[in-house]
Amino acid sequence: MMKINKSVIINSIQKGIRLDGRKLEEFRDIEIIPNYINKNPEGCALVKIGKTKVLVGVKMGVGKPYQDSPDEGVLMTGAELSPIAAPEFESGPPREAAIELARVVDRGIRESKMINTKALCIKEREAVWLVFLDIQILDYDGNLFDAAALGAVVALMNTKIPTYDLKTEKIDFEKYSGKLELNEVPISITARKISGKIVFDPNAEEEELVDSRLTFAFKENGNICAMQKGGSEPITKDEILDLMKKSSDQSKIIRKKLKNIKIDK
Amino acid sequence: MMKINKSVIINSIQKGIRLDGRKLEEFRDIEIIPNYINKNPEGCALVKIGKTKVLVGVKMGVGKPYQDSPDEGVLMTGAELSPIAAPEFESGPPREAAIELARVVDRGIRESKMINTKALCIKEREAVWLVFLDIQILDYDGNLFDAAALGAVVALMNTKIPTYDLKTEKIDFEKYSGKLELNEVPISITARKISGKIVFDPNAEEEELVDSRLTFAFKENGNICAMQKGGSEPITKDEILDLMKKSSDQSKIIRKKLKNIKIDK
Amino acid sequence: MMKINKSVIINSIQKGIRLDGRKLEEFRDIEIIPNYINKNPEGCALVKIGKTKVLVGVKMGVGKPYQDSPDEGVLMTGAELSPIAAPEFESGPPREAAIELARVVDRGIRESKMINTKALCIKEREAVWLVFLDIQILDYDGNLFDAAALGAVVALMNTKIPTYDLKTEKIDFEKYSGKLELNEVPISITARKISGKIVFDPNAEEEELVDSRLTFAFKENGNICAMQKGGSEPITKDEILDLMKKSSDQSKIIRKKLKNIKIDK
Amino acid sequence: MAKGLDIKLIKNGKRLDGRDMEEMRPLKMELGVLDRADGSAAIELGETKVIAAVYGPTKLHPQHRQQPKKAVLSVRYQMLPFSTTDRCRPGPNRRSIEIGLVIKKALEPIIFLEEFPRADIQIEIEVIQANASTRVTGLTAASLALADAGIPMKGLISACAVGKIQDKLILDVAGAEDSYGGADFPIAMINGGDEITLLQLDGDLNQKEMKPALDLAQKGCKILFDQQKNVLKNTYKVGDQK
Amino acid sequence: MAKGLDIKLIKNGKRLDGRDMEEMRPLKMELGVLDRADGSAAIELGETKVIAAVYGPTKLHPQHRQQPKKAVLSVRYQMLPFSTTDRCRPGPNRRSIEIGLVIKKALEPIIFLEEFPRADIQIEIEVIQANASTRVTGLTAASLALADAGIPMKGLISACAVGKIQDKLILDVAGAEDSYGGADFPIAMINGGDEITLLQLDGDLNQKEMKPALDLAQKGCKILFDQQKNVLKNTYKVGDQK
Amino acid sequence: MAKGLDIKLIKNGKRLDGRDMEEMRPLKMELGVLDRADGSAAIELGETKVIAAVYGPTKLHPQHRQQPKKAVLSVRYQMLPFSTTDRCRPGPNRRSIEIGLVIKKALEPIIFLEEFPRADIQIEIEVIQANASTRVTGLTAASLALADAGIPMKGLISACAVGKIQDKLILDVAGAEDSYGGADFPIAMINGGDEITLLQLDGDLNQKEMKPALDLAQKGCKILFDQQKNVLKNTYKVGDQK
């Protein structure tokens, strides 16, 4: 990949038009492919934002509930920045960046109460459904937070629940007993600041120049259920209010897009 | 920390008076703070020997007993030489030195039969109390063995046992059912040899010059229940007898000090 | 170890006589010592092929069966290339070579259906015997694949099964309830190509020059139950048929040798 | 966590521990609590107790991790095994790694890292006892420890957590408010001012609540900042020259 | 695994999925599916779906792993957690490490590694969905990805698995044939020719079956090789100059 | 462990395996049991069987671990998975790491490490079968392996374990004496003499028992030392020049 001079990118941003012709607050094309693979995962989505490609899959399992929520299923979210997506992602145990990504996606889902966890109880105190949500980055060109969160939401939206036999302790993955019950669909949007300008959806080269980022997860009623600041530059109180408004507007665009695609098989 | 020339320290020890004015067999001030924190741990102690500070905490848990002792609780001792205490303690999985420290402290407690492990049986073969004893070095200025062992003993002396409901498998940490039953109070003393002289309680700079060390754990009746030699120089049989006597005397001083402090909340 | 010039070894192989006087397809002396140690392992064998020494032991344990084979015992095979055998084997988690070795030995045993796994069922769905087969390389002088596989087979042939009490969940290792039931005795032979010549049983120096290797596991009826190609050079279809025939002949020699030794205590 | 559960967290206009909505728990700060570290500080906020230590700047090893134009900051945040109700296993976990990362990002803006090329500044935060607000209290203590170590800084970081119970915003989440409250909103500010260097949210916040929540966080940060200045002044016995 | 179990895998002369004995599943190949990688390819073989990517040649770090006279090839084979019926844990395991090793050995003979001394060529294989034959399909895709990356090669590697059901040899094992069949015999060949670079066997093969099994594997490899050539030709729109 | 339990370990004045109080188990030593290692030795003490190997001195890698004025000694002590009654997992654990450390410290005093600056001397101890006394037997074997490797030494290390059953001191703890006895007191001496290089104690020892226990250990070490000298003499066929 030929590196473009940083100052060229910044000059362009200062002028309000990015090198690829986008406006500062404009997203690249978003392509959502629900059920990208559909034999083994219980739910799946491939999301492309520009050249960034994220594959998210859901597998259901059965396990013991936590002691303090004995009648609730459990969500477990993992993310892999494996080197297939970019040579700088070395393989090995998940590092800071992958952990932050997984935890921020998880937080948006969990705090929005997207999943009806009570409906995942098989037998109180003994067996509940475990929802394994795994995020695999396939191609890295910036803005992983929004792509991963969107993929996660779509994968959960088409997740089916297998049947389970308490006696034999066997899951029958061939026979589904229903869909994952959802209460909510959170949409995550990450605003960035580059040289004082607010920018959305940076590509990999812009991402390197980000001074600070702020991720919001919005519920359907517009409320915010999760936030995460990143980057090494401060953000002022007023800027946060501004970023919130702009991100909220973006979330509505994506929410509309979601409404227009057929998510079930 | 400005490094003092090693030969200056050794010359001083040869003359029988250390650089900080202490005699060779003299301990620094020992401060024992039982229940240093008292909300979450079941038992706790902060021990300071000179500038060395060791925080020891006890948490109780419930688990399965070992097959060959189905009616006995289990002690598990860990030590962390985390880099907060000294830059040379790199973080990461416990290394040789931390493992040796934890195992020597553990051995003194275990072999003295300090804890009445039978009293920790909840239901034979199914559930017993686990005693997690964790040693955290906060500030390192030599003689970790004696400071950690003392902290461990005091923490166990003020340990309370929560209540446990076998049916719901829940521990109620807010309601204590009694104190940890103790049979014995072992006191550990470590004698060192530096350039042929017997020295107790070295600071960090003296510790680097130690040729050999010998740790004794003494029971109340004066018997020895655990020993550990360290260092790369041999010790003769006669020296061991001499070190034993001197260490035994030291243990009595510390035992008296323990009697004079209020250990319970 | 003084290194011999590679071209000297290759010239010699080209002429059809190796530096140690062997013909290309000739094995070194094979010594099999069943029950090399006999107090703690349930089965054991020391195999020497030339200077290569491999110690294999079997320990029996009890655990849950796999869900898809609820009435069958489980074989678990591990191999350690620990640095006692050669300085180039660094200690640490098993690396590629040790994993391949363990898996190839395991495959020969598993696919031949050597062990009657149904006879290892204690109680369906709840408790089955686990067969831990551990391969320890003690001295490395080439041809680990054949030495390890032979040691594994002999160790299983003299494996006894302890008694188990379902109620107390205790294994009595002092009292054996019978022998491990075997259906089959697979023999593994590895053919190598060095500079276009077929060679068997290389020593460590020859092993470094191997272009490709092919391991066959033969059943008593001559059928092949496992194969593994190694090395970075291709093998042609015709060569495979040739290697198969020669390896099959070798396997008969070793099978005869096995018949002539007393394997039980 | 079972946030939003139907448990009364306000009784007679007071929180369960008797505090007003915008009242912090009792606060104690101490400098130089450790001898070996180059700088250290301890903070007690109610039952939450943390110690932070600073080592450095020292030459960074291994060399390939050095930055030619600035110091590298490393932050380790750890909860002691006996600091929580249920024992937590020692060693890093996903939560502690994420918190170490956001604390590092929150401190970088105030340190003159460029004064120490090729150096390492290492911050160790040990949570001794936890009753909520451990990351913000650890961050506040780390900022004090940096000052105690004499590391040149543009300002101090003060951090607190705003929460929400029965639709009211509260300052300094603690106890049942953490388990059953409607939001946990940890925020860090430079010198109790307008600039935010750490911000996370778990919970449910109406967009209209954002400004009051930020204002309330600032109120908390100012309290912390005043006490940070005090303890520095008292410890170093210098005049109050803000 | 319960190989050899008494389950009818042939009904009315057809396999359970309707195929003839020597028929492969529907096959799709695509080049350049990823943007960041230097070369990439995806293959679908029935429900088995893999993506392979190539990075390099680049200078190998750390230096002490460099080879003075050739490039070092590294291969990572990984199944995504949701690619299998039961979730598989992410991260390397003994099976994936062995498969990475045999795939590496299968590719080394065709790459002109000596053209890139001190360099690193890195191959990443992700099994997106598994229904048997993942290692051979991954290897075939890796070979295509190398071509897509423009790495100079002596030929292409094509790989398939021969199986055995009810004493009949079959091409391209899938589904219940993997769990209950009598053999799994993955084989890789150079340019669908005579030279074999990967070969493993699990099962039970009469010595007389060896030649027909190899011949059948070659039939499969030729089908794959033809399609590999086609997709390369169509993608790069060059004349068919075999 | 249930030390001190009420189990009769002395019957008719003899220990359970028929030995007198101060009698060691049958002892066999062998040198050069491995071909690849620079030195090796095997010892059988009753049913306890260990092999020790020495590699070196060789140049130590990585360079930053080198000591400019002496060789670095590394010791790995490991129990084979099938060496114990219950299988033990392969790989280092806390017990084996501590034992490796005390064995290293016990050997350092006798080796002329300063003769090999920047070098590495590596000792590998494999416990093949365990019936107590594995650390002392491993140490004794390591000392022999060093001699077999021709490493210059000030003397040999001999090590044994003293125990206590029904208030009587015994030599060479084994079997039930290990599980139910009143003490385990492993000790290593230089040339069976007065200088002790390893000493640990688990159990209960009256201060008055210390001297007799050390004397008994010395008795055991002398037996071992004599046999060590014998096996060296017989193997190298040199005159007895003590």
Give the residue on F whose Cα is nearest the Cα of C83: F124
pLDDT bracket for residue D241 (50, 70, 90): very low
Chosen from E113, E202, E216 to mutate, greatest number of chain C CBs within 10 A: E202
| Model pLDDT for residues B216-237, shown as the tens digit of each residue | 999 999 999 999 999 999 999 9
C167: its two tokens: 């109620």
pLDDT score for D181: 87
**pLDDT at residue D42 greater than cutoff 80:** yes
- Residue E92 DSSP SS3: coil
The mean per-residue pLDDT over the stretch D3-9 comes to: 65
C55: its two tokens: 């110690």
The mean per-residue pLDDT over the stretch F2-9 comes to: 62
Of F85, F124, F131, the CB nearest to C82: F124
Mode of pairing for the β-strands spanning C121-123 and C127-139: antiparallel
* Residues near E176 by beta carbon (within 8 Å), at least 6 away in sequence: E7, E9, E16
**pLDDT at residue A3 greater than cutoff 80:** no
Give the residue on C whose Cα is nearest the Cα of B67: C170
* Rounded distance between C-alpha atoms, residue D134 and residue C257, angstroms: 70
C229 touches chain B (CB under 8 A): no
Mean pLDDT, all residues of chain D: 93
Strand segments, DSSP code E, in chain E are 10-11, 14-15, 27-31, 39-45, 48-59, 72-79, 119-129, 157-165, 168-171, 183-190, 195-205
The mean per-residue pLDDT over the stretch D194-206 comes to: 97
ipTM of this complex prediction, to 2 decimal places: 0.95
Mean pLDDT, all residues of chain B: 95
pLDDT bracket for residue D238 (50, 70, 90): low
Q: What element of type H or E holds D73?
A: strand D72-79
| Model pLDDT for residues A98-150, shown as the tens digit of each residue | 999 999 999 999 999 999 999 999 999 999 999 999 999 999 999 999 999 99
**pLDDT at residue B183 greater than cutoff 50:** yes
pLDDT score for F242: 40
| Model pLDDT for residues E204-218, shown as the tens digit of each residue | 999 999 999 999 999
DSSP output for chain A: -PPPPHHHHHHHHHHTB-TTS-BTT----EEEEETSS-SS-SEEEEEEETTEEEEEEEEEEEEPPPTTSTT--EEEEEEE--TTS-TTS--SS--HHHHHHHHHHHHHHHHTT-B-GGGGEEETTTEEEEEEEEEEEEE-SS-HHHHHHHHHHHHHHT-EEEEEETTTTEEEEEEEEEEPPBS---EEEEEEEETTEEEES--HHHHTT-SEEEEEEE-TTS-EEEEEEESSS-EEHHHHHHHHHHHHHHHHHHHHHHHTS----
* Rounded distance between C-alpha atoms, residue E133 and residue E50, angstroms: 10
Partners of C134 on chain F (C-beta within 8 Å) are: 80-82, 87, 90
A91 touches chain E (CB under 8 A): yes
B67 touches chain C (CB under 8 A): yes
**pLDDT at residue E4 greater than cutoff 60:** no
Q: Do A136 and E58 touch (CB under 8 A)?
A: no
Angle at F118 between CA F112 and CA F119, to 5 degrees: 60
pLDDT bracket for residue F48 (50, 70, 90): very high
* Rounded distance between C-alpha atoms, residue C43 and residue D234, angstroms: 73
Give yes or no for a contact between E24 and E160, defined as CB atoms under 8 angstroms apart.
yes
Please tell me the least confidently modeled range out of A90-104, A163-177, A232-246, C210-224. Answer: A90-104
The mean per-residue pLDDT over the stretch E81-94 comes to: 95
**pLDDT at residue A186 greater than cutoff 50:** yes
The mean per-residue pLDDT over the stretch F139-164 comes to: 98
Partners of E78 on chain A (C-beta within 8 Å) are: 82
Partners of A93 on chain E (C-beta within 8 Å) are: 91
The mean per-residue pLDDT over the stretch C60-89 comes to: 94
| Other Cβ atoms within 10 Å of B261 Cβ, number | 11
- Residue F219 to chain B, least CA–CA distance (Å): 13
pLDDT bracket for residue A168 (50, 70, 90): confident
pTM of the model: 0.95
Partners of A169 on chain C (C-beta within 8 Å) are: 67
Long-range Cβ pairs for the range F227-233 (8 Å, 24+):
F227/F27, F227/F29, F228/F29, F228/F140, F228/F143, F228/F144, F228/F147, F228/F156, F228/F158, F229/F156, F230/F29, F231/F29, F231/F30, F231/F31, F231/F41, F231/F144, F232/F31, F232/F144, F232/F147
The mean per-residue pLDDT over the stretch E107-135 comes to: 97
Give yes or no for a contact between B264 and B180, defined as CB atoms under 8 angstroms apart.
no
* Residues near F38 by beta carbon (within 8 Å), at least 6 away in sequence: F54, F55, F56, F149, F150
- Of all residues in chain C, the percent with pLDDT exceeding 70 is 97
Asked whether A and D share 3 or more beta-carbon pairs under 8 angstroms, the answer is yes
**pLDDT at residue A9 greater than cutoff 90:** yes
Tell which residue, F95, F174, F188, has the closest CA to residue F139.
Answer: F188
- Of all residues in chain D, the percent with pLDDT exceeding 70 is 95
Strand partners, C188: C217
Q: Do A84 and E53 touch (CB under 8 A)?
A: yes
Q: Hey, where are the domains in chain D?
A: 16-234
**pLDDT at residue B92 greater than cutoff 80:** no
**pLDDT at residue D28 greater than cutoff 90:** yes
pLDDT score for D2: 43
- What is residue C92's DSSP assignment? S
- Of all residues in chain D, the percent with pLDDT exceeding 90 is 88
Of D76, D85, D90, the CB nearest to B40: D85
Domains of chain C listed by start with CATH number: 27-259 (3.30.230.70)
pLDDT bracket for residue F3 (50, 70, 90): very low
- Residue A220 to chain B, least CA–CA distance (Å): 37
Give the residue on C whose Cα is nearest the Cα of B124: C168
pLDDT bracket for residue A87 (50, 70, 90): confident
- What is residue C115's DSSP assignment? B
- Of all residues in chain E, the percent with pLDDT exceeding 90 is 88
Region label for C55, one of left (φ > 0), alpha (ψ between -120 and 50) or beta (otherwise): beta
Give the residue on A whose Cα is nearest the Cα of C66: A170
**pLDDT at residue D98 greater than cutoff 60:** yes
pLDDT bracket for residue F239 (50, 70, 90): very low
Touching subunits of E (3+ CB pairs, under 8 Å) are A, C
Tell which residue, F231, F239, F220, has the closest CA to residue F41.
Answer: F231
| Model pLDDT for residues B250-265, shown as the tens digit of each residue | 999 999 999 998 887 6
C6 touches chain B (CB under 8 A): no
pLDDT score for D100: 97
Give yes or no for a contact between A212 and A235, defined as CB atoms under 8 angstroms apart.
yes
* Rounded distance between C-alpha atoms, residue A91 and residue E97, angstroms: 13
pLDDT score for C3: 65
pLDDT score for B182: 97
- What is residue F110's DSSP assignment? G
Phi, psi torsion values for B253, nearest 5 degrees: -60, -45
pLDDT score for F164: 96
**pLDDT at residue A214 greater than cutoff 60:** yes
| Model pLDDT for residues B41-75, shown as the tens digit of each residue | 999 999 999 999 999 999 999 999 998 899 999 99
**pLDDT at residue B3 greater than cutoff 70:** no
| Other Cβ atoms within 10 Å of C28 Cβ, number | 19
pLDDT bracket for residue E3 (50, 70, 90): very low
Strand partners, F48: F45
- Residue A25 to chain E, least CA–CA distance (Å): 24
CATH architecture of F16-234: 2-Layer Sandwich (3.30)
pLDDT score for D6: 58
pLDDT score for E74: 95
* Rounded distance between C-alpha atoms, residue B241 and residue B260, angstroms: 29
Tell me chain D's radius of gyration from C-alpha atoms.
Answer: 18
pLDDT score for C87: 86
Asked whether A and F share 3 or more beta-carbon pairs under 8 angstroms, the answer is no
- Cis before residue D152, ω within 30 degrees of 0? no
| Model pLDDT for residues F15-32, shown as the tens digit of each residue | 999 999 999 999 999 999
